Amino acid sequence: MQSEKPVVMANQRAAAERKKPFRLKGEGMFIFLCLLPALLFVAVFTYYPLLRGVVMSFQNYTLFDLLNIQFIGLDNFVSVVTSPDFPRVAMNSFFWVVCSLFFQLLFGLTLALLMRRRFRGRGIYQAFVFFPWAMSGFLIGLIWRWMFNAQFGVINDLLMKTGMIDAPIPFLADGMWAMAAVIIANIWYGVAFFAIMILAALQSIPEELYEAAAMDGAGRFQQLWSVTLPYILPTMLVTILLRVIWILNFPDIIYSMTNGGPAGSTHIFATFMIEKVIFGQDYGQASAIGVIIVLILLLFTVFYVKATRVEKGGDF
């Protein structure tokens, strides 16, 4: 009986401790105060605009009629989806993401494989490859806009001097050429991100794996397919997901090169939303487009993660 008393007393003390209200003391309070500015910053500049945009997507919110702000249900979404421009915007967004992503991955993987090997001046070469990623997307769009200019652009000049064309091509004045031009500019801009991420993954591959593969008689192509690609697959999958989200929400290059033109032929969802704000002053429809973008990315992320679930490096 006496041996049971300490156990009972310990249980009583534990129950009393659980009943005490939670209070931040000492280190807990210090950590909370350190995190508070970051939490407030994220709440004010991320979550509040997001929630406010969702609310505005269900409102009649235009700068021309501020006295008539009211909830109108799904009317903004219906107006956006039934707009004659919506099918073209959706198709442009699809090609913008798929074409940009495919060539960024292809060229980024190639550059990363080349930079993995040691050679003289590799650091300078890496700096030139990674430099575009440090530039503003809007500035890159202006540079490529000058390069694709029909009158004095360097691309037309080179094509004419090499005899590939007889007359300048109106890259930014023709709808088909304009879409190809902005995709090319975006590919050039995004290759660096894939190269950085894949190079980091390549440098983490143990050399013992290549030595074992070589002892088994595997050539370079077999090593690439059986060792390199399976090991860096998780990194590639995460990078692809991040780039899809980024590219679909990246209007900088298109807006600085073509402003969505000519005649709206290069509009994607992001630039279409900006046009609704700047020219239409319709914050309700612009918010509806933003919600549509979020839903598309959310659905894509869910299906993508489930379809490409990889437990660890080396799984194919």
Residue 170 and residue 178: Cα distance in Å, rounded?
8
Residue 269 and residue 87: Cα distance in Å, rounded?
11
Among residues of the chain, what percentage have pLDDT more than 70? 90
Determine contact, residues 241/305, Cβ cutoff 8 Å: yes
All domains in the chain, ordered by first residue: 84-307 (1.10.3720.10)
Going by C-beta distance under 8 Å and a sequence separation of 6 or more, which residues neighbour residue 287? 53, 54, 56, 57, 61, 76
Residue 90 and residue 100: Cα distance in Å, rounded?
15
Angle, CA of 231, 234 and 237, to the nearest 5°: 130
Residue 56 and residue 69: Cα distance in Å, rounded?
9
316 pLDDT tier (thresholds 50, 70, 90): very low
- For the entire predicted model, the pTM comes to 0.83
Residue 168 and residue 150: Cα distance in Å, rounded?
6
Residue 112 and residue 129: Cα distance in Å, rounded?
10
State the alpha helices, DSSP H only, in 43-133.
Answer: 48-56, 75-81, 86-116, 122-130
Going by C-beta distance under 8 Å and a sequence separation of 6 or more, which residues neighbour residue 238? 197
Cα 96 off chain centre by: 12
145 pLDDT tier (thresholds 50, 70, 90): very high
Determine contact, residues 194/104, Cβ cutoff 8 Å: yes
Determine contact, residues 179/98, Cβ cutoff 8 Å: no
User: pLDDT tens-digit profile of 47-88?
Assistant: 998 899 999 999 998 888 777 888 998 999 999 999 999 999
In sign, the C-alpha dihedral spanning 178, 181, 185, 191 is positive
Angle, CA of 237, 240 and 243, to the nearest 5°: 150
Tokens for 215, please give them.
Answer: 């002892």
Going by C-beta distance under 8 Å and a sequence separation of 6 or more, which residues neighbour residue 46? none
User: pLDDT tens-digit profile of 183-204?
Assistant: 999 999 999 899 989 988 888 8
User: pLDDT tens-digit profile of 258-305?
Assistant: 988 888 899 999 999 999 988 888 899 999 999 999 999 999 999 998
